[in-house]
Amino acid sequence: MIEQVRKYQKLGLHIYPLVPGTKIPFKGSNGFYDGTNDLQQLNKWWIDNPKANIGLYLEPSRLMVIDVDRHEKETDGVENIKRVWNRFGSFPPTYIEKTPRNGVHFFFKLPDGVEMEQQQDAFNALLGKEKTGIDIITHGIPIAPTTTTHGVYSALDGKYIEQVATAPNWLIQALQGNVKSAEIANYPKHARTTGKKYTGAFLDELVHGAPKGEGSRNDWIMRQTSKMLAVGADLDTIYQLLLVVNDNFMEKPLKISEINATFKSRVKKHTKGGH
């Protein structure tokens, strides 16, 4: 493990340790926030815990991972990502890992000036599904040769992590909810009217409301704000719509102070990113 950690360090990646046999950070640590490229610190961690698994802190290297799972019987992320490819075209060649539970991690660099938040069940509006089995990871993730009770994270197609490709424009636009622009630029003509329209799916998602759990509600409001910002909606329109959804379609409405904080944070980040 320590030799692999040193290879990652030479590539400029930020690494943090995970409990042996798991994907869990050590108790008392700050998880991916502890990720570092400092060789002295990395040596100390893995000398103290030679069997520690390896976590990769993605943000400092401006990386993101498309996590495609098929854990649930009714949700096959592999089939859903194929549906996305049928509409936009497949991913460019990049570094890919197979996960212990037969999932796939696609690694991509973020283009300059682009910011991306973590997302659960990505492309749900595009696919017209609540659950897609596709997550976007932008913080921390286990990386090869991490081993759990289910198996090993391992590279596919003989590629190395230094061969990570830049995320294609259509992928960024689709993840930000700007599907209309992506259609114009990238859709084959015969595919442009396939399936539910983005606006309809998005409205369905708003009325359906957020999943249970306070953290989930805040994350959900954040994602919806980002989607509306991405398609160029007026700030007043976005804010008023968030209030309507919060009051009428949330099982347990959030406090206005939380709505305000999330809205201001999203607008600030969106403006800073130049979108």
**At what angle are helices 256-272 and 235-248 packed, to 10 degrees?**
150
How many other CB atoms are there within 10 angstroms of residue 35's CB atom?
22
Which is nearest to 150 in space by CA: 259, 90, 71, 54? 71
Neighbours of 218 (CB within 10 A): 16
Record the tokens describing residue 211, joined without a space. 């999943």
Task: Tokens for 217, please give them.
Answer: 């509600």
Cβ–Cβ under 8 Å, residues 226 and 270: yes
- 125 falls in which pLDDT band (50, 70, 90)? confident
Q: Output 221 or 152, whichever has higher pLDDT.
A: 152
Q: What is the mean pLDDT of the chain?
A: 84
Output the pLDDT for position 275: 43
Spatial neighbors of 112 by CB under 8 A, at least 6 apart, are: none
pLDDT at 262: 86
pLDDT higher than 70, residue 195: no
- 3 state SS of 155: strand
Question: Two tokens at 232?
Answer: 């160029």
- Antiparallel, parallel or unpaired: β 104-109 and 165-166: parallel
pTM comes to: 0.66
Count of C-beta atoms within a 10 Å radius of residue 103: 19
196-244 pLDDT, tens digit each: 455 666 777 777 777 665 567 888 888 888 888 877 788 888 888 888 8
| Residue 189: pLDDT band with limits 50, 70, 90 | very low
Closest C-alpha among 220, 231, 219, 225 to residue 269? 225
Question: Would residue 21 be called left, alpha or beta, if left means φ above 0 and alpha means ψ between -120 and 50 degrees?
Answer: left
- pLDDT, residue 58, reads 95
Give tens-digit pLDDT for 25-73: 999 999 999 999 999 999 999 999 999 999 999 999 999 999 999 766 6
- Give the pLDDT mean for 136-163: 92
| Residue 205 CB coordination number (10 Å) | 19
**126, 199 in Cβ contact below 8 A?**
no
Is the model more confident about 161 or about 215?
161
pLDDT of residue 182 exceeding 60: no
The DSSP bridge partners found for residue 97 are 105, 155
| Listed range (20-34, 89-103, 109-123, 175-189) with the worst mean pLDDT | 175-189
